Amino acid sequence: MKSAVIKTGGKQYFVKEGDKVKVEKLPVAAGKKTSFPEVLLTSTDKITKVGTPLVKGAVVEAKVLKHGRHAKVTGVKMKAKKRYCRLFGHKQHYTEIAITKIKTQ
């Protein structure tokens, strides 16, 4: 089975064909196809190629399933003995993709 390590949104993801992955928000509409040319590693049953830093000719193709937001993460800012306390929350946007094909040379 083919697998790869791709880089998108400043993060690295280990993916296989048929996987569903939540990555940082992409500017692609749901239902459209996209590709990731920044492939750091490819692997099949017999051969593993490690890029320096990228693997030449390798491309990972994916289909965008949906866009969404993760669960809320909350935090607190507090200054002791100053009566200062602030709550804050954040919901990060994501894009869910399905890996369709891993092309290697």
Tell me: the pLDDT tens digits for 47-104? 999 999 999 999 999 999 999 999 999 999 999 999 999 999 999 999 999 999 999 8
Residue 105 has pLDDT above 80, yes or no: no
pTM for the whole structure: 0.86
DSSP 8-state secondary structure symbol assigned to residue 45:
S
**Which residues span the domain enclosing 80?**
3-103
- CA 33 to chain centroid, in Å, comes to 15
51: tokens are 């890029």
Query: What's the structural domain count of the chain?
Result: 1
